[in-house]
Structure formats: structure tokens, C-alpha cells
Chain A
Amino acid sequence: DARVTQTPRHKVTEMGQEVTMRCQPILGHNTVFWYRQTMMQGLELLAYFRNRAPLDDSGMPKDRFSAEMPDATLATLKIQPSEPRDSAVYFCASGLNWDTNQPQHFGDGTRLSIL
């Protein structure tokens, strides 16, 4: 059963440190999404890619966040420097052929705590 794989599953670090989260989309999927979920804000879209090209990252704080897809099997989300307000669950999702009614498939998430 194909799955989106995210690493690490949990991350605890101190304020000011760099955090890198990784995502392996389902093989063959051509779109990748990064979300942040908190109790207060719910699920927020940070960035998404189609065929490895960034299409929209307007939901992402540009001064500290960056998202890349160095190849079709890897997407990364970096926070530098991290702040306590970045504590959240970060989900990656991938999908196929967004011109049709294909859904997104979510990874298990990275639970990030910034002390």
C-alpha cells in the first residue's frame, strides 16, 4: 500500500535552531503539499509544488521558512531560525493529476516542538 513518508516523526529543539523536515511522496504523484496544523488555526497550507516547481508558497513566512523539491522523490521544509510559535504538526501530502478530481494523500506528520 503506497504511502507518503515523512521524517522525522517527532522533533524537539531549542529556539533559534534550524529544523529540516523531509517528505517522500507516493511514487508517480506529481503534486506535493506542505501543511501546518495547530489547535487554534486548524490545517493551514504552507506551500505546494507541481512537477517539482513551486506554485504557491503564500501561506509560508518567507523570512524563516523555505520549501524545496530537489528531486521527484524528496520534498523538504526548512525553518531557520525556529521560534516557539512554530510548534505544530507539519503534514506533507501528495496527489496526482490535479486537473482531475484526485484527492491528496497525507503522511503521518512531523510533530515539532520548539522550546
Chain B
Amino acid sequence: QKEVEQNSGPLSVPEGAIASLNCTYSDRGSQSFFWYRQYSGKSPELIMFIYSNGDKEDGRFTAQLNKASQYVSLLIRDSQPSDSATYLCAVKWGGNQFYFGTGTSLTVIP
């Protein structure tokens, strides 16, 4: 059984702080890793993807991947109230299928 696990939260951070979202996965054969943001009542939207060990930065967002530890994280710098949403981690194994975590709810407090 392939599993993707996230802390459901809620995670609360003050505006301007760094929010850290974590995801672990069960299968060492995992190839690609994606972070989606989902606002309440809306569909998931892609924020970032990463497939190599290390860090990948895009604006205020940084994805970190450690395949040895089977761990992927998303850091949001200078958090804004508009970042308040549920963040879904998705892992792609060999083949065509994605597996999603249950999501972490983030609240950025003004």
C-alpha cells in the first residue's frame, strides 16, 4: 500500500513568518513530488514540483526533497493571509498514477 502522509494541522503562523509543511511517503521508487494549494471550495492548483534531491525555489516558495529519508517539504517565506489554504502533497510513482496526502490546513494570522 503506497502512502503519502501529511500532518493535517491546522498550522497557524503569524504574517511574515515562515510556514513549513511536511510530507512523507512510503515507496522509495517514487519519482516526482508535487505541492498543490487548495482554497476552500476551490480546486487544487499546482504550486511547485520537484524530482531531484535538494532545494527548489520559486519566489516565496521552496520545495525540499530528501529521497533517503522519504521526505518532501514546502517552505513559504514571508507568509501572507492569502496563503491561508489547504496544501496537498502528491507523489508520482512509476507509471501514471498520483497519490495525494490528506492535506495540511494553513492559517496565516494578520
| Partner-B contacts on A (CB < 8 A) | 31, 33, 42-43, 45, 48, 50, 55-56, 91, 98, 101, 103-109
Contact = CB atoms under 8 A, between A and B. Distances in A.
A106 B45 contact: yes
A104 B47 CA distance: 11
Interface of B: 31-32, 34, 42-46, 49, 51, 88, 90, 92, 95-103
A103 B96 contact: no
Contact of B46 (A45, A48, A105, A108): A105
- Which 10 residue pairs across A and B have the least CB separation, nearest first? A42-B102, A106-B43, A98-B96, A101-B32, A43-B100, A103-B46, A101-B51, A106-B44, A108-B43, A109-B43
Contact of A33 (B32, B42, B98): B98
User: At the interface, is chain A mostly helix, strand, loop or mixed?
Assistant: strand
18 contacts: A33-B98, A43-B44, A43-B103, A50-B96, A55-B96, A56-B97, A91-B43, A98-B95, A101-B31, A101-B49, A103-B34, A103-B49, A104-B90, A105-B46, A106-B43, A106-B45, A108-B42, A109-B43
A107 B43 contact: yes
Given A42-B102, A43-B100, A45-B97, A101 B92 contact: yes
Given A42-B100, A43-B88, A104-B46, 14 more contacts: A33-B98, A43-B100, A43-B102, A45-B99, A45-B100, A55-B96, A56-B97, A98-B92, A101-B32, A105-B46, A106-B43, A106-B44, A107-B43, A108-B43
